[in-house]
Amino acid sequence: MTTHPTVETFCLHVELLDSDPPIWRQVCLQSDASLEALHRVLSAAMGWSGESDYVIKGQGQVLKSGEERTLATLLSEPGDRLIYTYAPAQGWLHKVTLESIGAAQDSVPRCTAGEYQCPPEFCQGVWDYVDLLDRLSDSGDPDEVDALWQKVGYDFDPEYFDLTAANQRLQDL
């Protein structure tokens, strides 16, 4: 008789490394999620389009898209961590920490908390994002500042995190 592993709900803390203040999300998903599903959930919760490549590092291994692994093979107890790199050429590194394990739920994936808006994808990493924020608040060349606001959108607020929008992106997966 073959036994199947129990599917549980994993709640993860996802933090964009080197962001100050920290840009983070708390997401819950099924423990049997594939690496591809994990990528889609993490990118949607953070606010990335999900169209870029990704790399996951866990248990001393570098895992790339297409590998037949599940989240439960990488994380097994609270405190376990992995590194998720979205758009490796740009260096969007995320530390993913298993916060809790619970009974399987129908309402996953879902985002339960977070802080700060995800940087625009056109930025070349955290330092370019910091430079963008500095330039947006600069009163120097008004045409340059206006062009930057047009690029990010006039409603862009780096301090605002929209939980409802994050969960809508997850529902749309």
Q: Mean pLDDT throughout 125-138?
A: 91
pLDDT value at 139 more than 90: no
pLDDT at 65: 65
Lowest mean pLDDT among 61-75, 125-139, 156-170: 61-75
pLDDT value at 86 more than 50: yes
Q: Mean pLDDT throughout 59-87?
A: 87
pLDDT in tens, 89-116: 999 999 999 999 999 888 899 999 999 9
CB 69 within 8 Å of CB 63: yes
Q: What are phi and psi of 63, to 5 degrees?
A: -115, 130
Q: Rounded to an integer, what distance in angstroms lies between the CA atom of residue 51 and that of residue 92?
A: 13
pLDDT in tens, 4-62: 468 899 999 999 999 999 999 999 999 999 999 999 999 999 999 999 999 999 878 88
Q: Rounded to an integer, what distance in angstroms lies between the CA atom of residue 160 and that of residue 115?
A: 7
- Structural domains of the chain in order of their starting residue, each with its CATH number: 8-118+159-171 (3.10.290.30)
The residues that bridge with 70 in the sheet, in sequence order, are: 34
Q: Looking at beta carbons, which pairs linking 132-139 to residues 24 or more positions away fall under 8 Å?
A: 133/158
Which residues, at least 6 apart from 108, have a Cβ–Cβ distance to it below 8 Å? 9, 28, 29, 30
60 or 139: which leads in pLDDT: 60
